[in-house]
Amino acid sequence: MAFFLARRLVQAVLILLGVAAITFLLLYFLPADPAVLIAGRSATPHMVAAIRHELGLDQPLVMQFLHYVGNLLHGDLGRSYTQKTEVLPLILARLPATLILMA
């Protein structure tokens, strides 16, 4: 029984890491650079570089992923690039309607 539970726990951790990796990599399939989207059309290359540095997008991909997973483990889901607000309140605001639809 303990072996079964340990195996299930390892599987759950691997699945969560896989989901985190997929959601992280989806950002790199966007048609535009998030820093350019945030900066706007009239942004200079220096402004875009500053935003990339502020967001940590100038770091190696592995470091960005480790930072992302660390933030997830602390409950920090990050900020929405389009709505310019924290993601967690956006999810919580829509959770009641989601639960009603699930019932």
pLDDT confidence bin for 36, thresholds 50/70/90: confident
Return the pLDDT at 1. Answer: 87
Q: With contact defined as beta carbons under 8 Å apart, do 57 and 35 qualify?
A: yes
Q: pTM of the entire structure?
A: 0.77
Rounded mean pLDDT of 46-71?
Answer: 93
Return the pLDDT at 67. Answer: 94
Whether the per-residue pLDDT at 91 is higher than 90: the answer is yes
d(CA 58, CA 78) in angstroms, rounded, equals: 17
Return the pLDDT at 82. Answer: 78
